[in-house]
């Protein structure tokens, strides 16, 4: 069956849509990470959801899964070349979010941004 998109943003959201995928990609922008390290960096994600999101990103060829032949098995995830092309999208999302947080703070909303460091996806 032919997949039809009405606007280009649909194709983007089809691959990186949802709460967790952009966050995972930003963390992988710092370099390859194991599943446990991703869980530590994204404390609110469940193991099941992380595994599901990683599988979907791998299926869409946005990340690469590397398995090391050792005991216990070691698996690392990294951005593929295709995944690295999302750099500008992730930067735009981050800048927009930073501005929104500042505006909401100026309006007196109780909101805080813990991670002000964009080193990862700004440099891949």
Per-residue pLDDT tens listing for the chain (124 residues): 999 999 999 999 999 999 999 999 999 988 999 999 999 999 999 999 999 999 999 999 999 999 999 988 899 999 999 999 998 898 888 888 889 999 999 999 999 888 766 555 555 5
Residues 6 or more apart whose CB falls under 8 angstroms from that of 91 comprise: 118, 121, 122
Among 46, 69, 123, residue whose Cα is nearest residue 91: 123
CA distances from 121 to 28, 36, 39, 46, 95 (A): 8, 20, 18, 23, 12
Predicted pLDDT at 37: 96
Predicted pLDDT at 60: 97
């Amino acid at each position: 069956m032919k997949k039809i998109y009405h606007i280009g943003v649909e194709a983007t959201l089809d691959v990186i849509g949802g709460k967790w995928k952009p966050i995972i990609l930003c963390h992988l922008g710092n370099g390859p990470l194991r599943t446990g390290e991703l869980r530590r960096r994204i404390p609110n994600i469940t193991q099941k959801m992380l595994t599901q999101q990683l599988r979907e990103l791998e299926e869409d060829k946005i990340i690469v899964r590397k398995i090391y032949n050792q005991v216990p098995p070691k698996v690392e995830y990294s951005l593929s070349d295709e995944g690295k092309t999302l750099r500008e999208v992730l930067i735009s999302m981050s800048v927009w979010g930073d501005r929104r947080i500042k505006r909401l703070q100026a309006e007196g909303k109780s909101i805080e941004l813990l991670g002000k460091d964009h080193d990862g996806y700004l440099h891949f």
